[in-house]
Amino acid sequence: MMKDIRLTQMTKASGCAAKIGPNILSEVLGKLPKFYDERMLVGIETSDDAAVYKITEDIALIQTLDFFTPVVDDPYIFGQIAAANALSDVYAMGGEPKIALNIVAFPNCLDPSILGEILAGGADKVREAGAVLAGGHSIQDDVPKYGLSVTGFAHPKKLYKNYGCKPEDILILTKPVGSGIVNTAIKGECASDEALKQVLASMTSLNKKAKEVSEKYHIHACTDVTGFGVIGHGREMAAASDVTLELDVHKITYFENAIDYAKMGFVPAGAYNNRKHNERFVEARNIEEHFMDLLYDPQTSGGLLMSVSKEEAESIMEDFEKKHLDTKASVIGQVCKREPDGKYIRLI
Ligand code: CO
Ligand code: CO
């Protein structure tokens, strides 16, 4: 792929604008006044992917927003990734995106055509999602940032929440793991063309199809795997459901060469933060270090993590295959009863 150097300095600088750690967030958010509305179906309390408000017995409104600094040098691809990532939170709630608004920060010193490409990438993903782009807001800032606020709809009874996992459920993840590690290898100019191609295709791909296929089944719980990594988001799901998620590190699909890059030490700072905050919830005996790095690796525009009954797991996986999901879905483990004082995540 042609290297576009215009955003390169921005992606290099973007480390300082990484996601705020979960500990800081929970401390600050915990001090905010509490809101109550009987129509609020999902609020801030359960750290779910989006807020949900019941409009009628048949219609729930889903509201979310997400934005970040460039993760790749190509502005058009960055726009696609940021939009796919923001839209994903609506899919993770079992909803259909309807209206999107741009959130933009852009420096005066960069060529405006770069901004045009970022927005074009985002707009194309909004169109692919079947939603409409209806405006937005932009400010001038030293480091570019882009994302969307998305409004979607779902049936109030068909929402996918991040809790409700039942013991014996099968855990399915709809995209491979290790995008942060591959991106770090890309910045270090060590990534293979194949790894680069695969990770870009995955980060730009919508979770739309995965959500549509899953609708025919009984999804007990769902979230998308993003900045806190497989373990961080899995831990939130397990804690909210009061179960243990048993993840089989050898069954998980990783991006091409991601294991090699993890072994070589291309591990982003976010993975260490995720590890620091989640380690005490994780039981891992004799698990090789590179798997730990991959499971703590922050994912950009990652897949949907679904908890589905054992009886339905096989047919949903076949369905994913038949409908030609753009990304590779894999069974990554199962849900177990949590023993008293048991950990939330067990790696085998
Ligand atoms: Co999410
Ligand atoms: Co999000």
For residue 95, what is the enclosing H or E element? none
- In this model, does residue 29 exceed pLDDT 90? no
**Ligand nearest, relative to CA of residue 65:** 2
| DSSP structural state of residue 327 | S
Q: What is the pLDDT of residue 9?
A: 54
- Please give the Cα distance from 260 to 67 (Å, whole number): 30
**What is the set of active-site residues?**
16
- Please give the Cα distance from 126 to 6 (Å, whole number): 25
- Amino acid of residue 324: H
Over range 10-18, report the average pLDDT.
Answer: 50
- In this model, does residue 52 exceed pLDDT 50? yes
pTM confidence score? 0.93
- The CA 255 to ligand 2 mean position distance, Å, reads 21
- The CA 340 to ligand 2 mean position distance, Å, reads 31
- The CA 320 to ligand 2 mean position distance, Å, reads 24
For residue 334, what is the enclosing H or E element? strand 330-337
Contact predicate 129/206, CB 8 Å:
yes
Q: How many CB atoms lie within 10 A of CB 216?
A: 11
Q: Return phi, psi of residue 335, to 5°.
A: -95, 135
Secondary structure (DSSP) of 91-133:
HTTT-EEEEEEEEEEE-TTS-HHHHHHHHHHHHHHHHHHT-EE
- The CA 27 to ligand 2 mean position distance, Å, reads 18
- The CA 49 to ligand 2 mean position distance, Å, reads 6
**Ligand nearest, relative to CA of residue 90:** 1
Q: What is the pLDDT of residue 1?
A: 43
Q: What is the pLDDT of residues 91-104, one digit of tens each?
A: 999 999 999 999 99
- The CA 229 to ligand 1 mean position distance, Å, reads 11
Instruction: Please give all residues whose CB falls under 5 A of ion ligand 1, grouped by chain where several chains appear.
Output: 49, 89, 224
Short-list 187, 216, 261, CA closest to 3:
187
How many residues comprise the chain?
Answer: 348
Alpha-carbon separation of residue 96 from 63, 154, 179 (angstroms): 11, 6, 25
- Please give the Cα distance from 283 to 270 (Å, whole number): 20
Q: What is the pLDDT of residues 250-265, one digit of tens each?
A: 999 999 999 999 999 9
**Ligand nearest, relative to CA of residue 49:** 1
Strand-pair partners of 137: 103
Over range 72-79, report the average pLDDT.
Answer: 95
- Please give the Cα distance from 146 to 102 (Å, whole number): 7
pLDDT interval class at 5 (50, 70, 90):
low
Q: What is the pLDDT of residue 16?
A: 40
Secondary structure (DSSP) of 299-310:
PSS--EEEEE-H
Strand-pair partners of 188: none
**Ligand nearest, relative to CA of residue 88:** 1
How many CA atoms, within 13 angstroms, populate the side-chain half-sphere of residue 316? 28
Alpha-carbon separation of residue 281 from 73, 230, 304, 331, 346 (angstroms): 36, 13, 21, 22, 9
